[in-house]
Amino acid sequence: MQYDWIILGATFTAAGMASVLGDRALILESRPQAGYEFISAMKHGTMPTEPGTPGAKALYDAFAEKGVFDGEIPCLFSAAAPFYERLRGKNVLLNLTPVEAERVEGGFRVTAHGVSGFREFTARRMVDTRVHPWQIVEKRLNLLITPPAGEIPAVKYGPDGDLLISCPLSLTDDWPTARQKAAELLKKLPAEARLLITADEFDYSLQPIPLPENGIDHLPSAGFANPVEAFEAGERFAKEVVL
């Protein structure tokens, strides 16, 4: 199938682009969910300022209405519904893994694999909003715990006063290693600290936005300070190219 843009990763940045491009863009995602780089990672980042683009402003207002900004840092437990609303009516294919991208006359051809087999898509432009190993500077696993007596290095997360702590990881740590390190960290906390949630995605700090590579633009969503900023960056990027 032919599109103007193929966007890799169903991220907040991808959603910002899609808010401008509409059905001219196709978003491909290997995971079964979108917005994982912030929501599933419990990536708290910074509190956003009021954005300057209409799509990001609408997302900001929807988050505020859901109480995302009521605490010390953005709490993303209630962020999924307003975020998915921004993807409604857009061309988003989940559980479809891009396995090959090649330059062809007039743009790119992407081969992706899913439950129904291989599929091919073509577009004149391709943007990758995912995280790649060479972009990562720091890596963490976030954990939500009940607050123990006394102070520990943590931030309040959510309406119940629970605490979010980050377990630092090596860049090469896989999930079994990360969980083992998280367990060791929890053992060092006061006994009354109880684990509530372990993030389903790693939390990353990334290098500055890389230059295009082989004609593919890179705008990794996880590199932004918060989901609203990531959405706005995608919205601005698409407007600069299209308008």
Give me the CATH number covering residue 92. Answer: 3.50.50.60
Residues 238 and 129 in one domain: yes
Count of structural domains, the chain: 2
Please state the rounded mean pLDDT for residues 209-228. 88
Domain of residue 167, residue span: 134-205
Residue 56 confidence (pLDDT): 97
Residues 111 and 61 in one domain: yes
Say if residue 237's pLDDT is above 90. Answer: yes
Of the candidates 74, 11, 29, 35, the one whose C-alpha atom is nearest the C-alpha of residue 225 is: 74
- The model's pTM: 0.94
Residues 60 and 29 in one domain: yes
Residues 199 and 220 in one domain: no
Residues 35 and 103 in one domain: yes
Q: What are the b/e assignments for 216-230, b being 16+ CB within 10 Å?
A: ebbbbbbbbebbbbb
CB 132 within 8 A of CB 221: no
Say if residue 71's pLDDT is above 90. Answer: no
Rg, Å, the chain Cα set: 19
Residue 194 confidence (pLDDT): 92
Residues 163 and 237 in one domain: no
Rounded Cα gap, residues 237 and 187, in angstroms:
45
Residues 94 and 154 in one domain: no
CB 26 within 8 A of CB 121: yes
Say if residue 109's pLDDT is above 70. Answer: yes
As beta bridge partners, residue 197 has 144
Please state the rounded mean pLDDT for residues 148-152. 75
CB 241 within 8 A of CB 170: no
What sign has the CA pseudo-torsion 184, 190, 193, 199? negative
φ and ψ at residue 40, rounded to 5 degrees: -70, -30
φ and ψ at residue 30, rounded to 5 degrees: -80, -25
**Of 11-20, 49-58, 145-154, which range is least confident?**
145-154
As beta bridge partners, residue 138 has 205
Residues 193 and 175 in one domain: yes
CB 122 within 8 A of CB 104: yes
Residues 51 and 21 in one domain: yes
Residues 43 and 162 in one domain: no
Residues 19 and 101 in one domain: yes
Residues 7 and 24 in one domain: yes
| Mean pLDDT score of the chain | 93
Rounded Cα gap, residues 205 and 198, in angstroms:
19
Say if residue 212's pLDDT is above 80. Answer: no
User: How many residues are there in the chain?
Assistant: 243
